[in-house]
Chains A and B, each alone.
Chain A
């Protein structure tokens, strides 16, 4: 179905890439130094050896060294399908043709986006996270043994090494996530732990990451306890987990409890405290889903799935407390259908906030799916609506802004397309570039600098 791996090499070996970058030259000179040291006793053949080594290194380092600062790998997590049975009938997302995690090469200078290639075969990689050193990727495997919601047994997490030249992923190991329907994974700031939100079993868990990037022991497990008003909220459903900017606290958005929980995090042991400092509640029935801090670490933004509300929260970094300062509505007043907001992210310049909305007009009619743009008040952190942009497909469950802040990629889960938007960094507005790539059931996007 997909072109062979060498196709990616062809794509990346375009003429303008055949220029010795500063990085590759640096590597060659490093090589000379090493060779000099080890060849004190081999003077006669030294210069020749050196030349050969330098030449070999230039070739070997090729694709890695040729990369520009604006070259990225874009990874797409997907659902490969469940074996769900509901009322004795196959049900749900069982139709996906996806085989795992896909990678494209993205040039943030030109907006060029290559055809996606299979980076790793893995079941239901529904959320991905990248290590701070860009060498490892961690993927959730959502309930691969599931034979239907009454028998969700376990989710897993897999550690992969990233090939800096090709972007291909090499499996290091996998471990249980210590929960079911694991829907979010992130890392602590040191890159020594992965955090998991286990939506199904209502817990969060922490696993140690070893020096080689592989997964070690479970260092923390916390069962959330509570409920709220909507039928889906009869039990806790953690949906997002991530560290505070100073790595001393961990934030957990619990869709079932209508709460944003704060735990103390000990980076020496990987332990989470029981809940506390005090949590903050969203409006009942809202369903907190994804959370983000602003780049300055002064404010937190909590997107609620069902209400579409973004709670703007002041972050007290010393105490680890969140205080609600605004409840910004993202659903237009004249919209009367169903709303499921999904992803939230802030532009690297800190001026604009983006959030995606999956909407239905009736049981059979989907739309209008949007990405909402909001301006952030630099002092107060509050939001002012800029626009609601159509996502260019159906069910924008996830999107990601490229690290340079020039483009936004929107992953539309049902229409199986990832659409490229240009961002106006002054107004925050999105414009659909008309470029898109096809990936089956895309649900998570992550950028990694290519070959650096």
Chain B
């Protein structure tokens, strides 16, 4: 059997010498950029169909941070209303909130869903693993814990936050936590009940912080990474700005400060974070609105530059029916010791309704997603001053509302 043995050996050598795409991929420095969208609701508003969109789901582009080159977006997965996306820490899985696909309008929201996808590391295409209910309605935010074993969701409509287990193969398992938030705020139009709008774990994975737009509070839960359970912290919340509507929240990279962006007031509240007790102490109210602005403000996204020196936040504004603007992306410098903010500039997003933006992992570029004008604009980031300068690159995507990056291979 000598010949056969040699042949088998040869075969083994051949197999071993083939590059193994999934075990130790060669990073290219490129990224896949995924865009979440609204594909449309089937509801009626003031007697007319509303929510028209030509989007079919999640789109993907290939992005080269070295040159700023971005490929034309392609459909990565067909799915209803992928309004928020989160990437697994291992970069192999993508989790997507499907906002109320059966909805006949906000008054009839019955359920949102979350889907797990595996990412094709070569093409960026998404392969559906499974879909489960989020345990709430109008799920508007999801994030992954630091261990990659849980997905945390904020259910805006039904006032709850929920946690689902992520299995070894990336698919979704059982619900490990459900927490209802109760109360109301000052503004009866948006704050007659609790509206959790974001949920993120603390840098040490021991706590979860929830922005509640409806009750003007940041809820703090103890997070048990062994079981995935949430339990109210002591005290269970910190008061946010009255009528402000906390929407999105971010920790600084050192885990010393928290920044809460308020949707209605446009305030960024700076708080010192005590990781031992899980408590916040207010440090500063930073305004993103100029005092002479008259109209409505809806701030949306907040992010810190990878170098930790600058903070960005987006503002959607309007002065009357069909009188949009001036929309902006605010740039603030961060005091390294005190965590406080100083405004650098307010930059027009080159579109209407910048509901989301994202800074690429290298910190060289910022992608601004303008929901109403259906365009994503690429800005160059000056890492010394924090300033944004628009490039000529602009992508056409229908109703873009979320952007995430995944390292590309091959």
Contacts and interface: CB of A to CB of B under 8 A. Distances in A.
Interface of A: 145, 149-154, 175-180, 200-203, 205, 207, 215-223, 225, 274-275
Q: Is the interface of A mostly helix, strand, loop or mixed?
A: mixed
**By CB atoms of chain B within 10 A, which of A216, A217, A220 has the most?**
A217
Nearest to A147: B232
A218 B174 contact: yes
Nearest to B178: A176
A250 to B, nearest CB: 14
Contact of A178 (B107, B162, B183): B162
A223 B111 contact: yes
A274 B172 contact: no
B365 to A, nearest CB: 39
B39 interface: no
B174 A153 contact: no
A223 B173 CA distance: 21
Size band of the interface chain B makes with A: 20 to 34
Interface stretch (B30-38, B64-72, B134-142): B134-142
B110 A150 contact: no
A176 B177 contact: yes
B180 A154 contact: yes
For the complex of A and B, the 7 pairs showing the least CB-CB separation, nearest first, are A176-B178, A221-B133, A178-B135, A217-B174, A218-B175, A180-B180, A274-B102
Nearest to B100: A223
Contacts of B182: 149-152
B236 interface: yes
B231 interface: yes
A225 B102 CA distance: 13
A445 B179 CA distance: 28
Interface string B93-129: 0000000001000011111000000000000000000
Given A201-B180, A222-B111, A217 B172 contact: yes
A395 B312 CA distance: 60
Nearest to B109: A223
Given A203-B158, A216-B174, A217-B132, A152 B107 contact: no
Contacts of B177: 154, 176
A159 to B, nearest CB: 12
Contact of B135 (A153, A216, A221): A221
Contacts of A176: 135, 162, 175-178
A179 B137 CA distance: 12
A274 B158 contact: no
Interface in B339-393: none
B157 interface: yes
B180 A222 contact: no
Given A152-B182, A221-B133, A201 B174 contact: no
B211 interface: no
A145 to B, nearest CB: 7
A219 to B, nearest CB: 7
Given A177-B178, A179-B178, A274-B102, A223 B137 contact: yes
